[in-house]
Amino acid sequence: MADPEPPALILAPLGGDARALAKVIESTGTPSRTVADAAEFKAAVEEFGLENVLFVLVSQEGATQALGEALHRIAETEPDWSRLPTLFLIDDIKRPPPGYRILAAVEDTSSRIVLERPVAPAILRRIARTMAASRARQFRTKNLLDQLRREEERSAFLLRELRHRVRNSLAVMQSLFKMTARRAESVEELAESFGTRLRNLSDAHLRLAGSGEGAPTLQELVSDQVLPYAGERDRLDISGPEVWLSDKIAFDLALVIHELATNASKYGALSNETGRIEVDWTTDTETGELVLSWRERGGPSVSPPERRGLGSSLISSFLADGENKPETRYEPEGLVWTAHIPESDYWTSEPTAPGRLQESAHQDREPS
């Protein structure tokens, strides 16, 4: 449903004036709200929010000192993108009402218009359209500023993520080299084995960036992200029915699995030669959710990190808005991570369009 159009606020204590002005304003396609005094005006601004008020129209009788003070506070506190257009309809420009005189202290008068009554409806409509267009440009400016702020935040996040991944990649390559060197019997074998692992690691990064073809199954997603760090296939045990994930969930989960595998290679079950990773998933028959578990076995003892870094935040934020939040446990046998994937984000038959659930997807589910 589209957001409602911002209204014009009409402050005209005399009922006949209020109805006549509202009729003219609404004939331009602009919704209006009439208020009787400064208190109702302030309540309306608070209700709609300043960013959702198109303009203000004030009659001679409504331009009280209390209203002038309210408009003065708005002028002093509104954000840089905003200049609330205000139209005063008064009896004598040479003797303005107190509400208008208070605003004279505000230097920026570009958003204020004063007309002597009576004003022809055609002129009032023309000015109303002009003020509405001016305010619409302000709203567009606000949207652009919000977009720039979001882009700056995203750029800052990506930069932090890049630094984090570079540090992780260097640590992982060092760990892979040490592990490969311990098993290699010659320089040639070391070069071949280490080169293979580096290629596998590169393939995993390409998959993570969406460079692969087709929609991978959950088993393929886990294998792609873990095997480059495990080195040997028998160190990764995967079990669960064949399922596909929506694009958004698949990408987010790949980031998490990649982070878990990276941490396991540095501190957990993949940091030695005997540890194993167990990944399994089952369907919760009551909720329909896919319950996914990551378990580390045979590695060194683990404990919660002393500080929460980017990696920990990434792992804990996966589907954190749902009712069943992800859970991380540091058990004596190794780290355990569990997540619940909503029924709407996975299916048991390969999608015809990756990332988009088909209407028949739920019909294709295996009976629970």
Quick one: pLDDT band at residue 364, thresholds 50, 70, 90? very low
* Average pLDDT over all residues of the chain: 83
Which pLDDT tens digit goes with each residue over 27-62? 999 999 999 999 999 999 999 998 899 999 999 999
- The CATH class given to the 8-147 domain equals alpha beta
Do residues 217 and 244 lie in contact, with contact meaning Cβ atoms separated by under 8 Å? Answer: yes
Which pLDDT tens digit goes with each residue over 135-182? 999 999 999 999 999 899 888 887 887 787 677 667 767 766 776 677
The CATH number fitting domain 184-364, selected from 3.40.50.300, 3.30.465.10, 3.30.565.10, 3.30.1490.150:
3.30.565.10
Query: Would you kindly state where each structural domain of the chain is located, as residue ranges?
Result: 8-147, 184-364
Which pLDDT tens digit goes with each residue over 202-250? 665 666 555 445 567 899 899 988 888 887 888 999 999 999 988 778 8
Helix (H, G, I), strand (E, B), or coil: what is residue 96? Answer: coil
Residue 45, H or E segment: helix 38-48
The Cα–Cα gap between 169 and 175 comes to: 10
The Cα–Cα gap between 221 and 342 comes to: 18
The Cα–Cα gap between 9 and 132 comes to: 12
Whole-number Cα distances in Å, 349 to 22, 207, 336, 353: 58, 21, 29, 12
